[in-house]
Amino acid sequence: MRDILVTKCMLAVFAALLFVRADAEIKEALLDVAERIRVWPDGKTPDFNAKQTVAVLEVVNVPDVRSDVFVIVIGGGSYEHLPFVYDPADMVATLVSNGIRCANFRHRYPRPVGKPKHFSAWQDVQRAVRVCRANAAKRKVNP
C-alpha cells in the first residue's frame, strides 16, 4: 500500500514538473551524465532480439542535491522507435535545477515480434526500478 502511495505522489510531482522550464544554464549542466547503466547484464535481457536497442539508465550529476528522492525520467511516444512526445531533457534539467537526483531512461525498441507493444518496455522499466533501488545507498537516496 505504501508503494502505491509513494508512486502516486511521485507521479503527481512528475506531472507538475512537466510544466516547469529550466533555464539554458541548467540544460547545459544536464549533459553531465555521471554514469550510464545497462539495465540488463549481457546475455540476460529477456526476449531480446538482434534488432532491439539496449535499455540504458543515464544517471545525471546534480551539483546541489536538496532531496533524497531519485526520479527515473522515461521519455516516450512510441514502442517502435523513440520519438519523444515530450522532451525528457527538459524534465531532467528541471529536476537537476531543483536539486533532485535523476536518470534519463531509454527502454528497448522496437518491440519483440508477436508480443504486446508494451512488453519489453514494461520489463525494462521494472528492471530499471530494481537497479535504482539496489543502488540507493550508493546514491544516498531513499528507495
- Count CA atoms within 13 Å of residue 131 on its CB side: 22
pLDDT of residue 41: 94
First to last CA, the chain: 15
pLDDT of residue 108: 87
The pairing of strands 101-106 and 56-60 is antiparallel
CB 62 within 8 A of CB 26: no
Higher pLDDT: 56 or 87? It is: 56
- 97, exposed or middle or buried, with CB in 10 Å at 0-12, 13-18, 19+? buried
Task: Give residue-wise pLDDT tens across range 57-113.
Answer: 999 989 899 999 999 998 766 665 555 555 678 888 889 999 999 999 988 888 788
pLDDT of residue 137: 93
Give the whole-number percent of the chain exceeding pLDDT 70.
Answer: 70
Give Cα separations from 110 to 83, 107, 121, 126 (angstroms): 12, 9, 9, 18
Q: What is the pTM of this model?
A: 0.73
pLDDT of residue 58: 92
pLDDT band at 51 (very low <50, low <70, confident <90, very high): confident
d(CA 46, CA 34): 27
